[in-house]
């Protein structure tokens, strides 16, 4: 994804910055988005982690999806 414009290293840096910003600005509502004791969120997060190893931009994409989901629901 975006291999034509970004190197792998640049993608990792972008992912680190996005992850750090999300951690810094998170609220209690962030913990409600991924409930404990449910198998579906576990599977989704495991797939997300797997995809992130192959394409670092999956981290900011996933965080964006979480933010949009939280705003809509």
User: Does any domain span residue 27?
Assistant: yes
Tell me whether residue 2 is in a domain: no
Residue 1 lies in a domain: no
pLDDT of residue 31: 72
Q: What is the pLDDT of residue 63?
A: 85
What is the extent of the structural domain holding 28? 8-72
Count: domains in the chain: 1
pLDDT given at position 71: 77
**Domain contains 3:** no
- Rounded CA separation 13/28 (Å): 26
What local confidence, expressed as pLDDT, does residue 45 receive? 83
Report pLDDT digits (tens) over 46-69.
Answer: 888 888 888 899 989 888 888 887
Helix (H, G, I), strand (E, B) or coil at 24: helix
């Amino acid at each position: 994804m975006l291999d034509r414009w970004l190197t792998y290293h640049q993608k990792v840096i972008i992912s680190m910055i996005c992850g750090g910003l999300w951690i810094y600005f998170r609220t209690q509502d962030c913990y409600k988005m991924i409930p404990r004791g449910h198998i579906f969120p576990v599977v989704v997060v495991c797939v997300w982690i797997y995809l992130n190893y192959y394409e670092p931009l999956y981290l900011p994409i996933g965080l964006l999806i979480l933010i949009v989901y939280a705003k809509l629901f």
